[in-house]
Amino acid sequence: MKISRFAFLPATLLLLAGCASTTHQLNLLQQTPVAAQQVQNATVIVSSQSSVNSNIGTITTGIGEQADLVVNNSPEAALANELINQLKAQGIVASQINTSNKPAHQLQLAITELSYTTQTQALKTIATISFKLNANVVAGTTNYKANYESELVDEYGTLPDAYEVEASLDKLIRNTVARLVADPNVMTLLRRPLP
């Protein structure tokens, strides 16, 4: 009995397709309107920093697909931009640069964690996305510090596209910023008149 060497080709291709490896290049908060970095008479000056690596994790699915997740843009700049827009929606004028002669409140942000981890259960992949943010509000001689942590759990069967991963990360970051803006201690200080 003669077996063609091409008979095993479909099985080999199927095996290779299930073991695909790629890199998802991510750009966070792309849909957020870009806030002006410099605004006349800003009452709040926003600064941000990040201690997270641009490689935030790796997705490994139950069928052997894999993708490294790399953030291309600056997460701290995207975060500051999102916060400025959410403060603007609350009637607070914020900027990243103080051009006024008047004193302004300071809102300092630090991203301490942005991670995407996965575990598999049979063919199902469970992703846990974590975001941690420290905020420091300075209003004259008053200082308020707070930490905000958010986590999102996502489930899927096959490797999600980069835009789907971005959407999950954006949702998590926006919700965390919304919690900061909803914090009555933060908002009371940001609305307090300075001498």
**What's the Cα-to-Cα distance from 117 to each of 40, 67, 101, 131, rounded to whole Å?**
42, 11, 46, 12
146-180 residue pLDDT tens: 999 999 999 999 999 999 999 999 999 999 999 99
Task: Give me the pLDDT at residue 3, please.
Answer: 52
For the chain, which residues make up each domain, given as ranges? 20-190
Question: In this structure, what token pair is assigned to residue 44?
Answer: 């709040």
Quickly list H helices, 69-144: 75-89
What does CATH list as the number for 20-190? 3.30.160
Residue 64 buriedness (CB in 10 A; 0-12 / 13-18 / 19+): middle
pTM for the model stands at 0.84
At residue 9, the pLDDT reads 43
Percent residues over pLDDT 90 in the chain: 67
